[in-house]
Amino acid sequence: MADEEVSDPKALLEERSKAKCVYQWYEYQKCVKRIEDDETGQKHCTGQYFDYWKCVDKNIIVWVLTSERDELAMKC
Q: Would residue 41 count as lying in a domain?
A: yes
How far, in whole angstroms, is CA 43 from its chain's centroid? 23
pLDDT in tens, 3-47: 677 778 888 889 989 999 999 999 999 999 999 988 888 899 999
pLDDT in tens, 15-24: 989 999 999 9
What's the domain count of the chain?
Answer: 1
Q: Would residue 32 count as lying in a domain?
A: yes
Distance, in Å, from the CA atom of 53 to the CA atom of 50, rounded to the nearest integer, reads 5
Q: How far is CA 44 from CA 4, 23, 33, 75, in A?
A: 42, 18, 11, 49
- Other CB atoms within a 10 A radius of the CB of residue 53 amount to 15
Q: Would residue 4 count as lying in a domain?
A: no
Please give the residue range of the domain that contains residue 41.
9-75
Q: Would residue 3 count as lying in a domain?
A: no
Q: Would residue 23 count as lying in a domain?
A: yes
Q: Would residue 18 count as lying in a domain?
A: yes
Check if the beta carbon of residue 13 is closer than 8 Å to that of residue 60. Answer: yes
pTM of the model: 0.75
pLDDT of residue 76: 57
